[in-house]
Copies of this chain bind each other. A is one copy, B any other.
Amino acid sequence: MATGRTHRPATRSRGIPEATVARLPLYLRALTALSERSVPTVSSEELAAAAGVNSAKLRKDFSYLGSYGTRGVGYDVEYLVYQISRELGLTQDWPVVIVGIGNLGAALANYGGFASRGFRVAALIDADPAMAGKPVAGIAVQHTDELEKIITDNGVSIGVIATPAGAAQQVCDRLVAAGVTSILNFAPTVLTVPDGVDVRKVDLSIELQILAFHEQRKAGEDAGHDDEESDDARAVAAREARRAVREVREAAAKGAPAADAPAGASDRKGPDGDVPAVMPA
């Protein structure tokens, strides 16, 4: 290269921040819903509300796409759906294999949302000989012996691991050796993979533990240990949260069986992005 200089504003270089990529599916979902209701255009404010994010963030995200809105009007829904789909690589078909067809693997296989976005379950693989041939979600389960052949024949590049933790690394190694370069791991293990292979993990246990941490803070500090009550931002925030929680609890106790929920406007607590689920962040 070398030609490049900093004075190139890089108006449209192909550099999309990871945080933005993680939000694109969220926008896409909201846009798809609008599209189904035949809404022609949407403002950043509206769409941001639907996706549960800040509108400035959304606009900046779209600016990375080079996506063009129309000032004074908003974004064209159909156009955005297409742009985001293309950017995410959803205009092509992605064959996926699921390895480990137990409770979870079977549920995943049955999951409809799979096919809805260009992902196709190419094969279900399990090590249990008794499973071989048995149909799950309309697909016959194949034995692990066939793994390499399946990957190669179908050009599979995305694999889902739903085996017990003990088998995960071994399965991962075989998948990678066979040509898989993206793995979604449901087993509670840290997978080691070579460079160039992406791993994302979904760990129910971790999610619950994170919730428990916050739960403990909300409930615990309320009455618990009274020593060391320094005043710092965090403590203040915690106190505020406690108050909010107490309000919720009181409202709950008061009756109001279903929803008198102030779902309307005011306070939306961001189920948003940060530290999403999987990651961590």
CB within 8 Å of B: which residues of A?
Answer: 1-4, 8, 10, 13-15, 18-19, 21-26, 28-30, 50-52, 87-90, 92, 94, 96, 103-104, 106-108, 110-111, 113-114, 116-119, 148, 157-158, 169-170, 173-174, 176-179, 181-185, 188, 190-221, 230-236, 238, 241-245, 247-249, 251-253, 256-263, 267-269, 271-281
Contacts and interface: CB of A to CB of B under 8 A. Distances in A.
- Counting chain B CB atoms within 10 Å of each CB, the highest count among A111, A213, A257 belongs to A213
A23 B281 CA distance: 9
Given A114-B208, A192-B263, A197-B269, 6 more contacts: A4-B232, A30-B190, A117-B205, A182-B215, A185-B271, A196-B248
Contacts of A181: 215, 218, 245, 248-249
Contacts of A232: 4, 8, 10, 13, 15
A264 to B, nearest CB: 9
Contacts of A29: 188
Contacts of A13: 230, 232, 234-235
A214 B22 CA distance: 11
Nearest to A173: B259
A10 B234 CA distance: 10
A278 B183 CA distance: 13
A17 to B, nearest CB: 9
Contacts of A191: 271
B158 A215 contact: yes
A93 to B, nearest CB: 10
Contacts of A2: 231
B280 A273 contact: yes
A198 B182 contact: no
A24 B230 contact: no
B279 A276 contact: yes
A247 B252 CA distance: 58
A269 B196 contact: yes
Nearest to A87: B213
A4 B261 contact: no
Contacts of A247: 194, 196
